[in-house]
Amino acid sequence: MTFKDFNFNEEILQAIEVMGYEKPTPIQEQAIPAILEGKDLIGSAQTGTGKTAAFVLPLLQLIANKANKSDDYIRAVVVVPTRELATQIDQQFEGFSYYTGITSIPVYGGSDGKNFIEEKNALSRGVDVVVCTPGRMIAHLNQGYVDLSRVDYLILDEADRMLDMGFMGDILRILSFMPESRQSLLFSATMPIKIRELARKILRKPTEINIAVSRPAEKVLQMAYIVYEEQKIPQITRLLHGKTNYRVLIFTETKLAARKLSDKLLRQHLDVAEIHSDLSQTEREQVLLAFRNRKINILVATNIISRGIDIEDIDLVINYNVPKEVEDYIHRIGRTARSQSEGVAITFVNPDDQFAFQAIELFLEKDIYKAKVDPEFGETPTYNPQKPNPSKPVYRKKKVFRHPRKK
Ligand code: AMP
């Protein structure tokens, strides 16, 4: 199958060619025809599968078919959980709509007042596609200048993430400004009951597509180090030294852990930066740009960028801790081996995390290869996952809040 089989117009085909896409990915093959037919859709798929283009391309075609350029109004609204994802999706709209004249704008929180005014101007004037985070969109809607009454297309992306973040109320409120006759698409990495309920509420006879959750992981070489906590930094340092051409993303559970780890790696003369929600939007963008442009090759990140961020060619993803949710593990390792490339994902598993790690192996239905820790760093624990013992003191697992400055 090729992109020509979808009967896209010349302007869109030209942009696809410029983007270098040769053939549609499985989710694109399934989703594009359904969307072009005007069907509602519920798609279980994650980043790395090509799901963004799976809705961006048919939407552009549908908008181009209908567009009456003398009319400026909001035709499509894409609602996403994070600013990073909003920017990334907006960039795909910009890229693919280059020859079509269709306009789009990202609308997200956390930027300065100037951005708010720019967003306000665009929203009041009318722009074809709005890619927004829920809170920021509500802030604009509350002021009364946004007209969503002619929206033809609604897309909820990473819906499970949005519900986890408590955005259900905001989403329903945004929807209340739109006509019921619209076409709606919902994408989610996982399909818990809450998502099914939301889908029942807002979709009409949706086509269902399902791209197996473990799919992007197939091209990732997954490994684990079974270690004591204090062996993690020496082993990571050993791994990273001398690999100057490697692009490495390291995930930690907390901002504090990210800060500490990047300090330690800097002291080992490694080329490292950190990214988490304590940084301003501008700082985050600067760090991501430096990483993309290979000015730095190691990025220590908290979960905020584990989903949605489209950084290509990551060679190695390191989980400094075992992620609490299997979905987070899959999203994190999905940063590597994107699209056509291959990658490596390494998880550090301390004794407290063995049980959670086994849950990941059970979910993936495979044993992840346990690599040998350098003998120089001492004896390692055996891998013998035990259900956490409820009689053990619970405070071992509980997070103790410490103010970062009061170390
Ligand atoms: P996504 O799942 O939308 O985050 O896309 C993952 C990556 O695959 C992005 O870098 C896309 O640019 C790329 N991609 C999406 N569709 C295709 C395609 N048909 N051919 C090649 N690359 C693609």
Q: What does the pLDDT look like over 139-172, one tens digit per residue? A: 999 999 999 999 999 999 999 989 988 999 999 9
* pLDDT tens profile 29-47: 999 999 999 999 999 887 7
What is the pLDDT, as a whole number, of residue 394? Answer: 38
Regarding the beta carbon of 276 and ligand 1, being less than 6 Å apart is answered: no
Ligand 1 pocket, mutate which of 5, 6, 25, 93 (most atoms under 8 A from CB): 25
Regarding the beta carbon of 49 and ligand 1, being less than 6 Å apart is answered: yes
Of 184, 174, 175, 180, the C-alpha closest to 206 is: 184
As a whole number of angstroms, the longest Cα–Cα distance in the chain is 72
How many distinct helices (H) and strands (E) make up the chain?
A: 14, 14
Instruction: Report helix, strand or coil for 301.
Output: strand
- Cα–ligand 1 centroid distance for 339 (angstroms): 6
Query: For residue 324, what pLDDT band results from cuts at 50, 70 and 90?
Result: confident
Query: For residue 328, what pLDDT band results from cuts at 50, 70 and 90?
Result: confident
**pLDDT over 70 (residue 378):** yes
- Cα–ligand 1 centroid distance for 403 (angstroms): 41
Ligand 1 pocket, mutate which of 18, 59, 310 (most atoms under 8 A from CB): 310
Mean pLDDT of 15-38: 92
What is the pLDDT, as a whole number, of residue 171? Answer: 97
* pLDDT tens profile 280-320: 778 888 888 898 888 899 999 987 665 545 666 688 999 99
What is the pLDDT, as a whole number, of residue 392? Answer: 46
Let me know: does 63 contact 102? Beta carbons within 8 Å: yes
**pLDDT over 50 (residue 217):** yes
Q: How far apart are CA 76 and CA 78, in angstroms?
A: 7
* pLDDT tens profile 333-369: 877 765 556 789 999 999 999 999 998 888 887 899 9
Regarding the beta carbon of 56 and ligand 1, being less than 6 Å apart is answered: no
Mean pLDDT of 70-97: 91
- Cα–ligand 1 centroid distance for 50 (angstroms): 4
Report the percent of the chain where pLDDT is more than 70: 87
Domain 3-210: CATH superfamily, name plus number: P-loop containing nucleotide triphosphate hydrolases (3.40.50.300)
Of 125, 123, 124, 178, the C-alpha closest to 156 is: 178
DSSP state of 150: T
**pLDDT over 60 (residue 69):** no
Let me know: does 276 contact 82? Beta carbons within 8 Å: no
Regarding the beta carbon of 72 and ligand 1, being less than 6 Å apart is answered: no
| Domain 220-387 bears CATH identifier 2.40.50.100 | no
The minimum-distance atom of ligand 1 relative to the CA of 92 is 12
Regarding the beta carbon of 21 and ligand 1, being less than 6 Å apart is answered: yes
Q: Chain-wide mean pLDDT for the chain?
A: 86
**pLDDT over 60 (residue 96):** yes
What is the pLDDT, as a whole number, of residue 218? Answer: 67
The minimum-distance atom of ligand 1 relative to the CA of 52 is 3
- Cα–ligand 1 centroid distance for 24 (angstroms): 9
**pLDDT over 80 (residue 331):** no
Q: Any idea where the domains of the chain sit in the sequence?
A: 3-210, 220-387
- Cα–ligand 1 centroid distance for 309 (angstroms): 12
Ligand 1 pocket, mutate which of 90, 247, 339 (most atoms under 8 A from CB): 339
User: Burial level of 169, CB count in 10 A (0-12/13-18/19+)?
Assistant: exposed
Regarding the beta carbon of 338 and ligand 1, being less than 6 Å apart is answered: yes
Instruction: Tell me which residue has its CA closest to atom 20 in ligand 1.
Output: 21
What is the pLDDT, as a whole number, of residue 340? Answer: 56
What is the pLDDT, as a whole number, of residue 214? Answer: 47
Structure tokens at 331: 């999203």
**Which of 86-90, 107-111, 187-191 has the least mean pLDDT?**
107-111
- Cα–ligand 1 centroid distance for 40 (angstroms): 22
Q: How far apart are CA 376 and CA 272, in angstroms?
A: 25
Q: What angle do CA 156, 161, 167 make, to 5 degrees?
A: 70
**CATH topology match: 3-210 vs 220-387:** yes
317: region left, alpha or beta (phi > 0 left; psi from -120 to 50 alpha): beta
Query: For residue 388, what pLDDT band results from cuts at 50, 70 and 90?
Result: low
What is the pLDDT, as a whole number, of residue 170? Answer: 96
The minimum-distance atom of ligand 1 relative to the CA of 24 is 19
Q: How far apart are CA 52 and CA 80, in angstroms?
A: 11
The minimum-distance atom of ligand 1 relative to the CA of 46 is 2
**Which of 8-17, 210-219, 294-303, 327-336 has the least mean pLDDT?**
210-219
How many CA atoms are closer than 13 Å to the CA of 391, on its beta-carbon side?
Answer: 0
Let me know: does 279 contact 301? Beta carbons within 8 Å: no
